[in-house]
Amino acid sequence: MKTTQAAVIRENGANFTFEEVTLAPLGFGEVLVRNIATGVCHSDIVAANGLVFSPRILGHEGAGVVEEVGPGVTNFEVGDKVIMGFNSCGLCGSCLSGRPFACESFLPLNMLCQRLDGAVTIHDAHGGEIAGNFFGQSSFAAHSVANVRNLVKLPADTPDELHKLLGPFGCGLSTGAGTVINALKVRPAESIVVFGAGGVGLAAAMAALASGATCVIVVDINDDRLTLAQSLGVTHTFNGMDSDLVDKINKATDGGAHYAIDTTGNMKVVRTSHEVLRIGGTTAMVGLSAPGTAVEFEHMGILDGRNIIGVVEGHAVPQVFIPQLLDLYKVGKFPFDTFVVQYPFEKLNEAIADSISGATIKPVIVF
Ligand SMILES: [Zn+2]
Ligand SMILES: [Zn+2]
């Protein structure tokens, strides 16, 4: 039994409270990670307000060091530097075909906050059950029980200061960059419009530039974020409230974009992201909205050959894609650290408030 400090949500919409919790002994294929930092992702905020499992520990962009390995673990050892991505089963048809983001057990492994066999692995100081295993990690805690399937090993010489910033590679930044590189497969001299200049959107814009796109447009309603996007080298920025937005994008892309990405989850924006495409273009829906939300598209716009795809986790295999993103960072083509702001663990509630208000693009909690 291992005790550790964790940030717990006791009811929907409540603040996180800081508690000592007890972690169950490691099961088969599990790894105990001492977290040094964790990103805060939009899905944490959604899950803090609307999951049925209470109390619970969220967090799914953890970065840490392996402290103990469970039975059956042969590819990690104590002291390995790791970051944590999403979990997958490794056994279903999707996983066996190299598509773990489409794992048949994605929902139970990442969202149901328990082991696949239903076991609860975390208890509070009074012995009460706490839901954990969020994205196979629940990293809003000083320690996580992770799994060999969602751990990514970093080079042993990764400096601590960099390691602390890399948690967001586990979800938000992989989602944005992976949508461009793995799902849309943007090629040199193509055009792309990114709606929403948060962490996911800016990662998508940087990946498009790294892929050789020569027209990279970022749209947001926050002018400060547009200024930041310009500093990353995007070719155009437009305010989403601009009444001539679609015309301006058409002009900038010479008749419509090859690709668009919606990171906002706002259905009006999703529709606009489809309207700015050229024939044969593709819009990728990435932003999370409430389950059951309907979206409407103009029928001829689709019949003409403008495509729509949904992308989960950037169609990434974390152990393959995250090292690639790290290489892009090392050669200056993925400068994500320009929009990361670090907060101490005890300021998690403040970090989340700043993320919601837009004051901070990508909060990282440091333990
Ligand atoms: Zn699977
Ligand atoms: Zn996420």
Band (pLDDT 50/70/90 cuts) for residue 350 is very high
How far does residue 67's CA lie from ligand 1's centre (Å)? Answer: 26
How far does residue 32's CA lie from ligand 2's centre (Å)? Answer: 21
Question: 278-304: per-residue pLDDT in tens?
Answer: 999 999 999 988 889 999 998 998 999
Question: 9-67: per-residue pLDDT in tens?
Answer: 999 989 999 999 999 999 999 999 999 999 999 889 888 888 777 899 999 999 999 99
Q: Which ligand is nearest to the CA of 61?
A: 2
Domain boundaries, the chain: 2-170+335-366, 174-312
Question: 94-141: per-residue pLDDT in tens?
Answer: 999 999 999 999 999 999 888 988 899 999 999 999 999 999 999 999
Q: Is the pTM of this model over 0.85?
A: yes
CB-facing half-sphere around the CA of 100: CA atoms within 13 A: 18
What are all long-range contacts of 13-21, with beta carbons under 8 Å and residues at least 24 apart?
13/48, 13/49, 14/48, 15/349, 16/48, 16/140, 16/348, 16/349, 16/352, 18/345, 18/346, 19/124, 19/125, 20/124, 20/125, 21/57, 21/122, 21/123, 21/124, 21/125, 21/130, 21/141
How far does residue 286's CA lie from ligand 2's centre (Å)? Answer: 11
How far does residue 189's CA lie from ligand 2's centre (Å)? Answer: 30
Q: Judge: domain 2-170+335-366, CATH 2.40.37.10.
A: no
Second-level CATH architecture of 174-312: 3-Layer(aba) Sandwich (3.40)
Q: Which of 71, 70, 49, 67 is nearest to 58 (CA)?
A: 49
Q: Which ligand is nearest to the CA of 167?
A: 2
Q: Which ligand is nearest to the CA of 199?
A: 2
Cis peptide before 55 (omega within 30 of 0): yes
**Are 113 and 122 within 8 A, CB to CB?**
no
All residues with CB under 5 Å from ion ligand 2 = 41, 43, 171
